[in-house]
Amino acid sequence: MKILSHSYQKRGGIEFVFAEFPNSKALLVPIKKYYFVKSVRWSVEDPPVTRQDLEKMELAVNDLMGTIDSYKQRIHPDSYLKKY
């Protein structure tokens, strides 16, 4: 997913605009050592944002910020079930 622009917000959050959703703004915030989507100010001019789109946004941002390794090593809800 291509990042068109970003701007830094209070408390470490970063607001991004993506090419697939040029009229919507996604706020990503740091947790531990990676960034995740906190909210999306969606515009009706853009297509609906799916769960897969949110993951693509997180991948693109973490790659840009140099935290992709930490993002990929995060605990995924399904991984807990696989242990038992």
pLDDT tens readout for residues 38-82? 999 999 999 999 999 999 999 999 999 999 999 988 866 555 444
Structure tokens that stand for 44 in this block: 């009706």
Burial of 21 per CB tally in 10 Å (0-12, 13-18, 19+): buried
pTM for this model (two decimals)? 0.84
Q: Residue 84 — very low, low, confident or very high, per pLDDT cuts 50/70/90? A: very low
Q: Which residues contact 82 (CB under 8 A, 6 or more apart)?
A: none
Burial of 16 per CB tally in 10 Å (0-12, 13-18, 19+): buried
- Residue 31 pLDDT: 92
Residue 21 CA to residue 70 CA, distance in Å, equals: 26
Q: Residue 32 — very low, low, confident or very high, per pLDDT cuts 50/70/90? A: confident
- Per-residue pLDDT, averaged over 21-32, amounts to 95
User: How many residues are present in the chain?
Assistant: 84
- Residue 78 pLDDT: 56
